[in-house]
A and B are shown apart, each in its own frame.
Chain A
Amino acid sequence: MTESADLLQGTLDLLLLKAFAIESMHGLGVSRRIAQVTRGAFDVKPGSLFPALHRLEQRGWVASSWGRSESNRRARYYTLTRAGQRQLAAQTREWNRISAAIGHALEAT
């Protein structure tokens, strides 16, 4: 994934929030989850992943804390917050609206 234009940044944020809505994960975990869920379309590299995670935390949409992985390693886990839930709902609505509009535009001759 290249350096983010605003659109791509927004998309990544949406994907991350959705992933965290299901369960709390650490950085590697959430990037694997996204790759899996988008069937390999989005392979989020650390150079984009970590700034995005910290940005989401900045905005209060996720909260981070130290936890233990299955392999008993200490890692930083991210959890969706109440505000993050609201943001996820809002961004989902927005995405659906835009994609519907573009869909209409592309259908028209």
Chain B
Amino acid sequence: MAGPRFTLSSVLRHFLRREREERDLEEELRAYVDLLADEKVASGMPPEEARREAAIELGGMAQVEEAVRDVRPGRLIEQSWQDARHAVRSFARAPGFTLIAVLTLALGIGATSAIFSVADTLLLRPLPYPDPDRIVLLFDVTRGAQGKPEQYNASSQNFLAWKAQSTVFELLAAMESTYKNLTGGEPERVGIAAVSEGFFDLLGATTVTGRTFVPAEDKPGGPLVAVLSHAFWKKRFGGREVGFPLVLDGKTYSVVGVLKPGFHFMREADLWIPLAINEAHQPQAPTTRYLFTAARLQPGATLEKAQAEMSIIARRLAEEQPATNAQWTVDVVSLRENLVGQLRTVLLVLLAAVGVLLLIACANVGNLLLIRAAGQRDEIAIRSALGADRWRIVRLILTENTVLSLSGGVLGIALAAAGVRVLPQIGPHSLTPLPEVHIDLRVLAFALFVALLTGLISALPAALRISRVDAETIKARSQRTTEGVQGRRLLGGLVISEIALALVLLVCAGLTIKSFRQLYQTPLGFTPDHVLMAQISLPDWKYEKPDQITAFWRDLLPRIQSLPGVVAAGTTHALPVNDFVMSTIFVVDGRVPASPNEQLIANVRKVSPGFFRTLEIPLLEGRLFNDLDDGERPPVAVISREMAGRFWPGESAVGKRFHRGTNPNNPWLTVVGVVNDVYDEAIGGRFGNTLYIPHAQAPKSPSPTVYLLVRTAAEPTSVAGTVRRAVLAVDPDQPVDEVSTVEQWVATSVSSRRFATFLLSLFAGLGLLLAAIGVYGVLSHAVGQRRREIGVRMALGARAQDISRMVLRQGLSLTVIGLTIGLAVALAVTRLFSSLLYRVEPTDPATFAEVTAGLMAVAFLASWLPARRASRVDPARSLKQD
């Protein structure tokens, strides 16, 4: 058959002329009957009989009309719209069912959308640089204190060598992240990024006014120029025309450009200045690894090729510069991988969890729909008699459920939007700020997709079930018939799967909670509470000589210690737990190297004598630093227990010697004390070698930031004001930054775990609630269906207890099957995320047992109410109800 069936114009025409078409059709059919009757009369039949016969021969006006309507264009749309309106009316008539169904769907869809929104922003969004998948980061890598490879920023020596020797990159640039004091007006400490040539091109940063740097400016002794961030330009200089000067750490820079808003790379920066280093002029020591290094791959080059070439270069450097590069190699990592790598696992787990929650919600709604379908039997039979085929009826059910799931979706989006707004308060605080997560078009599209899918899935059992109903059933129907074996099985099956899914979710949440608790209860090695924390950065230009620095602290610390409410005070360059800590190679006096190329690495903290007391790090042997350990006296160190035990096992480490760096002429440090281990990185890692040296013996550092720690008797923040005043008394121009407490700092370091645990528990709790509702709903319905049977039993002598026990047994058998399946699945699944668990086995029996027992109890409770109701059935009434 040739020719298009329905063109767009025919559909439109149809909708516009629908009224008239209907009237025409009716008239046409009447005419048919009339003409037929005429025929019969003409052959001798009496008129009334002729009319009757003719009407019968037509076969029913409604049916013929339906048949004609079916061939009209736009039928599908018309029917679906009709179905939708019908659905809304019928849902409005059953508010209880509708409310529960919509809320359940809203929960599932909302939670899924919220998590997707987070995942989309953090993982899937394109990075804000042109062609971002060709951008890679380069790291100096060595085996760290714990024997695992650790990535560090590059040393200037290495960066320059890479730049000179590599061929696989189109552009290679470095960035130093530092701080300087901006004066002239209100003094302010500003974030600086010192960048090498090609940096802005590499990242596609463009200006909104002015320009970025030219290669000639990235030379030592070159012109002092600066580029501002858009936000800083607006805030500090009110959008002033470029070309004006500003003073950083006493030097005058000329502002040549302002970047487009929102540019950001690795660290926050207010200003960019040229890095200005070359082979001859490198302000930092060759062992100082401080440069963020990024590169853009040549077109055609792959990550693997780049890694291969850089490894060769690294090996060459290790041979040429063994003092600084022996045992070091290079890692080339894609930018995207670096930024999202750690988040990925957590987010995937959360997505999986929320997916399970959604499935539970589907099962619940599926249950509700099945129950509702039983009541719809009459209506379906009538439609079927009117000529609707099975597919038509399935379409009806699907349309109804799309209405339901879209309503749930709309509500769910609202919930998700609210949830996402709350996110920053409970979310993880990591070094890079959490980008703003909000609901946008992609999330809406996703939610729509989920809503439609959910509608489809939850409708399937009901649709399959009900489409079997035909006109015969309506005749055979009586109050006596229950769901029928198939219907009961479907209902039961749904509940079982709900319970199984809920169990899996609860087990996962339980394991994560336990893991988190373990983490949080791990002794840190110091006491974090009641310690105030502030950052003080003595600017280079004012405190050029080491003596000046020492003098400052020698003046300040006693002042602070004598403040009321202060128990102890100290300083350190690096906080324990998850702060960037310096590391150093060291050589032990008199030690036979375990291997020819052995390189020992330790984390270094420069501290004041009061540091240990302030953080309450116990002294195990020897002594702590005192005021006599200064630049004039022999160098001393305090080491951690781990380090002492590793290098001087079985004897006292006090009095032993080591020196830093590989140069044998470096001064020896004598160990004067051993202290307890403290976590340098994330809590729960292994302890590495840690050594402490007195600040007074090495006052100058690449990073001038020092953390001032003050232990207080009362609330730490109560002394913030007096501490600030004490600082100003020593140097009126010295700002005190980022005042907070050590406790907050520690909490921050576990915040992402806490966040994941919280969310997982929330989903598990919701899943449990939904599963309980599911059990309750199914059993209630079953009781309702079996009312007559119960009446009979009671009439035959069964007691109320027997009846309720019968219902309970039904509920329990469903539960037990569900639990068994759930346990099997859970055992398989938890193995997958054992990497996220801390000191907890993925098959931890205690957690499994507790969760199973809890779920059992809840299911029992959910079964108990219908059981009670069953036992209250009045046998006389139920038997009369036929």
Contacts and interface: CB of A to CB of B under 8 A. Distances in A.
Interface string A35-56: 0000000000111101100110
B32 A51 contact: no
Contacts of A48: 67
Nearest to B42: A71
Interface in A57-95: 58-60, 69, 71, 73-76, 87, 90
B70 interface: yes
Contact of B67 (A50, A73, A74): A50
A47 B62 CA distance: 10
Contacts of A69: 35
A50 B64 contact: yes
A71 B38 contact: yes
Contacts of B31: 26-27, 73-76
B71 A73 contact: no
Interface in B60-86: 63-64, 67-68, 70-73
Contacts of B6: 58
A74 B26 CA distance: 12
Contact of A47 (B5, B35, B59, B71): B59
Contacts of B715: none
B24 A47 contact: no
B38 A50 contact: no
Given A46-B29, A46-B64, A47-B67, A54 B35 contact: no
Nearest to A29: B35
A64 to B, nearest CB: 8
B38 A73 contact: yes
A21 interface: no
A71 B72 CA distance: 30
Contacts of A47: 59, 63-64, 67
B652 interface: no
B59 A46 contact: yes
Contacts of A50: 25, 28-29, 64, 67-68
B32 A27 contact: yes
B28 A76 contact: yes
Nearest to B6: A58
A58 B70 contact: no
A46 B63 CA distance: 10
B72 A58 contact: yes
Given A26-B31, A47-B59, A75-B35, A54 B64 contact: no
Nearest to B60: A47
A55 B71 CA distance: 6
Interface string B26-64: 011101101110110000000000000000011100011
Contacts of B27: 74, 76
B65 to A, nearest CB: 8
A87 B38 CA distance: 34
Interface string B766-790: 0000000000000000000000000
Most buried by A among B1, B2, B63: B1
B3 interface: yes
Contacts of B5: 58-59
Interface in A1-46: 10, 26-29, 45-46
Contacts of A60: 3
B10 interface: yes
Contacts of A26: 31-32, 35
Given A46-B64, A73-B38, A58 B59 contact: no
Given A46-B32, A47-B64, A59-B3, A76 B24 contact: yes
A55 to B, nearest CB: 5
A48 B71 CA distance: 11
B12 to A, nearest CB: 14
Contact of B59 (A10, A45, A74): A45
A109 B811 CA distance: 67
Given A26-B35, A28-B32, A28-B35, A51 B3 contact: no
B390 to A, nearest CB: 14
A50 B71 CA distance: 10
Contacts of B73: 58
A54 B34 contact: no
A45 B56 CA distance: 11
Nearest to A73: B34
B6 to A, nearest CB: 8
A32 B70 CA distance: 24
B64 A28 contact: no
Contacts of B38: 71, 73
A12 to B, nearest CB: 12
A2 B252 CA distance: 97
A67 B386 CA distance: 31
A100 B347 CA distance: 68
A47 B25 CA distance: 13
Given A46-B64, A50-B64, A76-B28, A58 B35 contact: no
A58 B10 contact: yes
Contacts of A27: 28, 31-32
A54 B32 contact: no
Contact of B68 (A10, A54, A59, A73): A54
B72 A54 contact: yes
A51 B35 contact: no
A10 B39 CA distance: 29
Interface string A92-103: 000000000000
B59 A90 contact: no
A107 B36 CA distance: 44
Contacts of B58: 46
A48 B67 CA distance: 8
Contacts of B28: 27, 50, 75-76
Given A71-B35, A75-B31, A75-B35, A51 B59 contact: no
Nearest to A61: B3
A76 B34 CA distance: 12
Given A27-B28, A45-B59, A46-B29, A51 B34 contact: no
Nearest to B73: A58
A108 B2 CA distance: 32
B10 A51 contact: no
Contacts of B39: 28
Nearest to A31: B32
Contacts of A74: 27, 31
Given A46-B29, A58-B10, A75-B31, A28 B36 contact: yes
A54 B58 CA distance: 17
B45 to A, nearest CB: 15
Contacts of B24: 76
A1 B59 CA distance: 13
Contacts of A76: 24, 27-28, 31
Nearest to A59: B3
Contacts of B29: 46, 50
B870 to A, nearest CB: 47
A32 B28 CA distance: 16
Interface string B610-651: 000000000000000000000000000000000000000000
Contacts of B2: 87, 90
Contacts of B34: 73
A46 B39 CA distance: 16
Given A73-B31, A76-B24, A51 B1 contact: no
Given A26-B35, A47-B63, 9 more contacts: A26-B32, A28-B32, A47-B64, A50-B68, A69-B35, A73-B34, A73-B35, A75-B31, A76-B24
Interface of B: 1-3, 5-6, 10, 24-25, 27-29, 31-32, 34-36, 38-39, 57-59, 63-64, 67-68, 70-73
10 contacts: A46-B29, A46-B32, A47-B63, A47-B67, A48-B67, A51-B71, A59-B3, A59-B5, A73-B35, A76-B27
Interface of A: 10, 26-29, 45-48, 50-51, 54-55, 58-60, 69, 71, 73-76, 87, 90
Q: Which 7 A-B pairs have the closest CB atoms?
A: A75-B31, A76-B28, A55-B71, A51-B67, A28-B35, A51-B71, A50-B68
